[in-house]
Homo-oligomer: A and B are copies of this chain.
């Protein structure tokens, strides 16, 4: 246990989930019931239930009689998610083109301005802004399922990204693609916007996977359970 936390706000589920997504609980970390119960100042029952819910959401893996672990995230996992996002996000974007009004696009531009102003200096802030940028596009979709699926994937990817810095070339690509996307949206070019988003997602995935590969070569990997 890293820190004996005594936050008392929010459900146990939310707190554990938060700790996983934010990285305070590392990938593959063992999640002992008694320990978590202490950490979140509850009894074991809520912890068990939270873990089961997280298991259902695939944030946690469980083996019979061997308890729970934070879902270990490897390159294949990221690739899988990205492949789905490459399909999903362009489709969500296309629909956004048909409903976006001037105010929506102005808001996108405002966020983009903040992203450029921050210019990757504050990594956490960039993550938040970038998420908000895409969320503006996806969150209003009528397909709640698709939108929530995106969000779930997003959170996982963000949890990974926060461990790595963004390469210079990737920074450039991100800014460029965001700008191009805004232009396409403004021009009501659904196909163009979708194509850029696909490229954006793919690039993001490739970047993360490369970083993971690089990190693995430096940090000696724990034997995987």
Q: Residues of A at under 8 Å CB distance from B?
A: 45, 48-50, 52-58, 76-77, 79-81, 83-84, 87-88, 91, 142-146, 149
Cβ contact of A57, chosen from B50, B56, B145, cutoff 8 A: B56
Residues of B within 8 A of A52 (CB): 49-50, 52-53, 56
In the assembled complex, the Cα of A49 lies from the Cα of B64 at a distance in Å of 14
> Looking at chain A's contact residues, is the secondary structure mostly helix, strand, loop, or mixed?
helix
A152 → chain B, closest Cβ, in Å?
A: 10
Q: A53-B55, A57-B56 are in contact. Are A91 and B87 (CB under 8 A)?
A: yes
Cβ contact of A80, chosen from B53, B76, B145, cutoff 8 A: B145
Task: Output the nearest chain B residue to A86 by Cβ-Cβ distance.
Answer: B91
Let me know if A84 and B50 touch, CB within 8 A.
no
Q: A48-B49, A87-B91, A91-B87 are in contact. Are A143 and B80 (CB under 8 A)?
A: yes
Residues of B within 8 A of A50 (CB): 52
Let me know if A84 and B149 touch, CB within 8 A.
yes
Residues of B within 8 A of A57 (CB): 56-57
Let me know if B54 and A146 touch, CB within 8 A.
no
Let me know if B55 and A146 touch, CB within 8 A.
no
Residues of B within 8 A of A142 (CB): 76
Residues of B within 8 A of A145 (CB): 77, 80-81, 83-84
